[in-house]
C-alpha cells in the first residue's frame, strides 16, 4: 500500500472512531436525560452489594443499577469488574433481574463476560420476624468474569489472577439457588443468604453464604426534601464467602470477606453505594472496592404499555 493510501485509510479510521465516540457520548447523555425525566422512586435494597434481603421490587418498577468491583490481587493485574442490573417487579411477590457482566484488566483486555437471569419469590404473604425468599438464577458467564456477585465453593485468588485469554475459554453455565432469610428489627436490617450453585456440566455442587446487617443513620424522616440529611445514609457490614463443595464441605481452602457498606440516597431516589472489602483468608484478595449506583423508574410497565397505545395500567 502506498504511503498516501495508508494515510487516507488512517484518516478514515480516526474519523470513524471519532463518530463512534461521539455517538456513544450522545447516547450516554440521552440516557442520562431520560433518567432525570422519568418518574423516580427510591432505589436499591439498602447498602448491600452481595446480600439480598426480602425486599422485592415494587410491581411495575424497573431498577437499573451498576455494581462495579476493582482490586489488584497479589500476582495479578488491577481489574475492574462491572455488572449492569435490570430489576423488574413482575408481582409484589416476584422480582426478576437480568445482569450483563463485563470486565477490564490492566495490561490484558476488556471483555463481555456473560449474563445472569435471576428470579426471587417471596414465600410468605405477610411480614414475619424472619422472612424467607427463594432465589433461582441461571448464569451463562465465562471464567474471566470478575464481578464477584457471590463467592462459592473454593472461589479464590486464582479466579482473579488467571489471564483473560485463558480464563475466557472456561464456560460457566450454572444454576444457582439461594435461600434468603431477612428481618427488620427496630430499624436494623438483618439478612442471611445460603447459596448452592451447580455448573450444569459434570461439576460438583458449590456452597456459599452472605450475611449482612445495616441501619439508616436516622429513623425519622425530616419534612424537607434534602440531600445530606441523616435519613438518606445507610451503613452496614457484609460478610460473605465460600463453603466448599458437596464433596468437601467446610471452610478449608475457601475465601471470605468482610465489607463495611455505605449507601447514600439522593432526593430524586438515585442511590450511590460504596463498600471496601477485606479478605480474611490466604485464598482471598486482600482488598476489593465495590461501588455502584442505582435508579428506579417508577411504573415503567404502565409507561411502556401507554407507549404502545394501551392506556389501561396495572399496579
Partner 1 sequence: MRVTLRAFIVAAGGLMVAGSSVRAESPVHRAPARASKITNPLDGNEQAPLAGAKLYARECAACHGAAGAGGGKAPALTQTEVSSAAPGTLFWVLRNGSLYRGMPSFAHLPEPQRWQIVTYLRTLRPNATAAVKPNR
Which positions lie near partner 1, rule CB under 8 A? 39, 41-42, 45-46, 53, 55-56, 58-61, 89, 91-93, 122, 125-127, 184, 186-187, 189, 216, 219-225, 231, 269, 298-299, 302, 312-315
Q: Give least dist CB 258 to partner 1, A.
A: 24
The C-alpha cell at 61 is: 418498577
Q: Give least dist CB 232 to partner 1, A.
A: 11
Pick 79 or 88: Cβ nearer partner 1:
88
Q: List all residues 6 or more positions away from 98 whose beta carbon is below 8 Å from its beta carbon.
A: 85, 86, 115, 116, 117
Q: Give least dist CB 214 to partner 1, A.
A: 10
Pick 59 or 260: Cβ nearer partner 1:
59
Q: Report how far residue 72's alpha carbon sits from residue 78's, in angstroms, rounded to the nearest whole number.
A: 4
Q: Give least dist CB 275 to partner 1, A.
A: 19
Q: Please count the other Cβ atoms lying within 10 Å of the Cβ belonging to residue 145.
A: 24
Pick 5 or 314: Cβ nearer partner 1:
314
CA dihedral 21, 40, 135, 260 (to 10 degrees): 80
Three-state SS at 26: helix
Q: Give least dist CB 219 to partner 1, A.
A: 4
Q: Report how far residue 288's alpha carbon sits from residue 67's, in angstroms, rounded to the nearest whole number.
A: 13
Pick 20 or 306: Cβ nearer partner 1:
306
Q: For the chain, how are helix, strand and coil distributed in percent, rounded to 5?
A: 15, 45, 35
Q: Give least dist CB 138 to partner 1, A.
A: 25
What are the backbone angles phi and psi of residue 203, rounded to the nearest 5°? -130, 160
Pick 53 or 284: Cβ nearer partner 1:
53
Kind of pairing between the strands at 233-245 and 205-216 = antiparallel
Residue 69 near residue 148, CB atoms below 8 Å: yes
Pick 2 or 224: Cβ nearer partner 1:
224
Amino acid at each position: 500500500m502506498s504511503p498516501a493510501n495508508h494515510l487516507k485509510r488512517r484518516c478514515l479510521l480516526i474519523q470513524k472512531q471519532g463518530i463512534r465516540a461521539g455517538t456513544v457520548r450522545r447516547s450516554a447523555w440521552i440516557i442520562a436525560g431520560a433518567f432525570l425525566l422519568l418518574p423516580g422512586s427510591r432505589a436499591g435494597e439498602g447498602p448491600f452489594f452481595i446480600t439480598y434481603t426480602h425486599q422485592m421490587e415494587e410491581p411495575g418498577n424497573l431498577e437499573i443499577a451498576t455494581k462495579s468491583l476493582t482490586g489488584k490481587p497479589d500476582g495479578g493485574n488491577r481489574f475492574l469488574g462491572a455488572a449492569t442490573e435490570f430489576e423488574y417487579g413482575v408481582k409484589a411477590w416476584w422480582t426478576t433481574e437480568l445482569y450483563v457482566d463485563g470486565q477490564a484488566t490492566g495490561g490484558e483486555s476488556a471483555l463481555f463476560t456473560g449474563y445472569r437471569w435471576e428470579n426471587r419469590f417471596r414465600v410468605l404473604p405477610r411480614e414475619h420476624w424472619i422472612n424467607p425468599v427463594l432465589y433461582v438464577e441461571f448464569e451463562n458467564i465465562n471464567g474471566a468474569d470478575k464481578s464477584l456477585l457471590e463467592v462459592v465453593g473454593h472461589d479464590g485468588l486464582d479466579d482473579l489472577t488467571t489471564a483473560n485469554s485463558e480464563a475466557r475459554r472456561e464456560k460457566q453455565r450454572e444454576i444457582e439457588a439461594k435461600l434468603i432469610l431477612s428481618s427488620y428489627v427496630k430499624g436494623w436490617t438483618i439478612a442471611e443468604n445460603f447459596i448452592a450453585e451447580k455448573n450444569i456440566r459434570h461439576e460438583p455442587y458449590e456452597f456459599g453464604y452472605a450475611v449482612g446487617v445495616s441501619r439508616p443513620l436516622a429513623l425519622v424522616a425530616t419534612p424537607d426534601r434534602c440531600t445530606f440529611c441523616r435519613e438518606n445514609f445507610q451503613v452496614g457490614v457484609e460478610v460473605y464467602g465460600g463453603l466448599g463443595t458437596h464433596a468437601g464441605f467446610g471452610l478449608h481452602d475457601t475465601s471470605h470477606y468482610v465489607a463495611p457498606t455505605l449507601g447514600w440516597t439522593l432526593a430524586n431516589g438515585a442511590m450511590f453505594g460504596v463498600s471496601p472489602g477485606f479478605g480474611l483468608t490466604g485464598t482471598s484478595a486482600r482488598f476489593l472496592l465495590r461501588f455502584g449506583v442505582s435508579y428506579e423508574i417508577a411504573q415503567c410497565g404502565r409507561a411502556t404499555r401507554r407507549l404502545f397505545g394501551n392506556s389501561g395500567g396495572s399496579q
